Structure 1
Amino acid sequence: MRILVTGTNGLLGQKLVALLRNQPEIELVATSRGPNKLAALYPEVQFLSLDVTSKSEVSRLIAQVQPTHLIHTAAMTNVDECELNREACWLHNVTAVEHLVAACEAHHVHLTFLSTDFVFSGEQGPLAEGALPAPVNFYGESKVAAEEIVQASRIPWAIVRTVLVYGTAHNYGRTNIVLWVRDSLRAGRHIQVVNDQFRTPTLAEDLAQGCWLVARQHATGIYHISSDELLTPYQMALRVAAYFQLDTSLISEVNASTFSQPAQRPLRTGFVISKAQQELGYQPHSFDEGIALLAKQVK
């Protein structure tokens, strides 16, 4: 079993490398654009540079590696950036998927594609896999378009949708809700956190485990991978403050209309994960367990 992972410089990609490098039954090939951020941590892992927006690069690399499975994590995921730079968003989130699907079809590769709760309108949740997509921003539109390309392909495919992923990564510029709340409160800063958006937050390690379960079992279809706790960001912030014994009076409860952002966010998503639990054996951490794990990792 030879697994090729795209986007291994990103949060999920790094967690997949950490997980899959220890699986004796597989050969792992890591790919990302730019230098390998994990070279010093995992020098034994084969790394190849890949720009997924280049059709020729994708075609050549898949032909060279001949993977049995491909887990595609590379994407443009900054929701506001996608709204403001739609051409770049489409190139990275849709055109790149066209290239990968074509290469996978040519070499009979099982494809796992990462998608998002932002394919939904946010009118109701938690949502099961059969819910109809109706995105409210361009990032969601790009992911729906990519999902449709994958579903129309002639290869065994799986779509893994996830929600509000948090975790730590090596040499990674972006923060997450746990560390943002902890660091802000430790610095004595007042923060405003929304109370009218609902999500099932996903520990990055859990998402990596879900992707591995899909690949290992050659699963096909759509799977919702997240936690099973429906929380608002405000509730999450209170949990973080409680764990680190920080001052909750610094946290102000506001609604989403307080913030002016280029991209609209769906108000209520979150996932029903019973399909992944029953078919894949997926078992996520609780949010409190996720906080504890992050605290240990960044200590």
Structure 2
Amino acid sequence: MKTILVTGSNGLLGQKITAAVLAGREFNLIATSKGLNRFMPENGYIYETMDILDPSNVRTVVEKHRPDTIIHTAALTNVDKCHEQRELADQLNVAAVQTLADICAEFDIHLIHLSTDFVFDGAAGPYDEEGTPNPLSYYGETKLRAEQVLQRAKCKWAIVRTIIVYGIVREKSRSNIVLWAKEALEKGEPINVVNDQWRMPTLAEDLAEGCLLIAEKNAEGIFNISGAEMMSISELVGKVADFWKLDRSLIREISSASLNQAAKRPVKTGFILDKAIHQLGYVPHHFNEGLAMLDNQLKARDL
């Protein structure tokens, strides 16, 4: 049975990969993250504390378990924080990838790295895997440099580009645009939502499935893994309101310029998914199906 090691296993994607393996996927799993394991149950896989900014720690863990594949989910993904804390963004989003690439080359490990639609400027979306990157933000720049690290690397590699990932983790502290909108509207709070940016939101379970398909098939190269439906951010939030029968009148549509965000965002990204569909057998859920799954998970968690 193939062994996979996941970095950032306490995060949303990391937890969904763990859940998929425990649900019956044929892998031995080594889950790693900084600090204590926040995923329950803790049986059925091995958990190791690992700091991706400590090359000797990474080497020790990898050498101990000798995985066939590493799925690298850990990163600094807050776009404005990357803009403001550039050295930290460089370390987490670029230097850590170089460390993993070097170790994977040494031990003949297949490295799957998570990237983003923010490597593009949004002028020509939706993009296929051959689209020309041109990031607008420092976050996008670091993710593009990480892609370039892999493209120069001597290990087997795959890059997974994704868009606005939503879902829930076991603890209640993590949020994303779907949960943020739902919770604010349930409290009767007015929310400002941009109506001039377009994305294809991705269910976390779908992204985990895409990563595991790549691991199973030892696939190499760049793969777009996202939802299949293009919508504006305001449309996305409107669908959240409609699904949970919340008050749409609380949604205030605004322009991106009025937010005065530190980092620029691309206007329209989105992906063409043909490669993942045909080469991997990837089939994303419709957005409303994803919301229904999320609703069931929230009800189960709150029991």
**What's the TM-score bracket when you normalise by the shorter of the two chains?**
over 0.9
**Distance in 1, Cα, partners of 2:122 & 2:12:** 25
Q: Which residue matches 1:233?
A: 233
Q: Which residue matches 2:248?
A: 248
**Distance in 2, Cα, partners of 1:193 & 1:124:** 23
2:7 maps to amino acid? T
Alignment partner of 1:101 is 2:101:
yes
Aligned residues of 1:226 and 1:284 also touching (Cα < 8 A): yes
SS in 2 for 1:262: coil
Alignment partner of 1:153 is 2:153:
yes
Q: Which residue matches 1:81?
A: 81
Shift of residue 171 of structure 1? Answer: 2.1
Shift of residue 141 of structure 1? Answer: 0.5
Aligned residues of 1:11 and 1:172 also touching (Cα < 8 A): no
**Distance in 1, Cα, partners of 2:187 & 2:128:** 40
Q: Which residue matches 2:287?
A: 287
2:17 maps to amino acid? L
- Distance of aligned partners of 1:33 and 1:212 in 2 relative to their CA distance in 1, 3 Å threshold: same
What TM-score, normalized to structure 1?
A: 0.97
Shift of residue 172 of structure 1? Answer: 5.3
Q: Which residue matches 1:199?
A: 199
Identity %: 45
Deviations 1:180-209, CA, capped at 9 Å, x for gaps: 222111111111111110101000000000
**Distance in 2, Cα, partners of 1:66 & 1:19:** 21
**Distance in 2, Cα, partners of 1:296 & 1:23:** 20
Shift of residue 165 of structure 1? Answer: 0.4
1:287 maps to amino acid? F
1:45 maps to amino acid? Y
Deviations 1:3-22, CA, capped at 9 Å, x for gaps: 00000000000000001233
Aligned residues of 2:105 and 2:156 also touching (Cα < 8 A): no
1:228 maps to amino acid? A
Shift of residue 158 of structure 1? Answer: 0.4
**Distance in 2, Cα, partners of 1:257 & 1:181:** 20
SS in 1 for 2:159: strand
Q: CA RMSD of the aligned region, Å?
A: 1.1
Q: How many residues align?
A: 298
Q: Which residue matches 2:43?
A: 43
**Distance in 2, Cα, partners of 1:298 & 1:280:** 30
SS in 2 for 1:151: helix
Q: Which residue matches 2:139?
A: 139
Structure 2: unaligned runs, 5 residues or longer = none
Shift of residue 42 of structure 1? Answer: 3.1
What TM-score, normalized to structure 2?
A: 0.96
Q: Which sits farther off after the overlay, 56-65 or 269-278?
A: 56-65
Alignment partner of 1:34 is 2:35:
yes
Aligned residues of 1:191 and 1:252 also touching (Cα < 8 A): yes
Q: Which residue matches 1:16?
A: 17
Alignment partner of 1:270 is 2:270:
yes
- Distance of aligned partners of 1:24 and 1:206 in 2 relative to their CA distance in 1, 3 Å threshold: closer
Aligned residues of 1:10 and 1:172 also touching (Cα < 8 A): no
Structure 1: unaligned runs, 5 residues or longer = none
2:281 maps to amino acid? G
Q: Which sits farther off after the overlay, 241-250 or 107-116?
A: 241-250
**Distance in 2, Cα, partners of 1:186 & 1:59:** 46
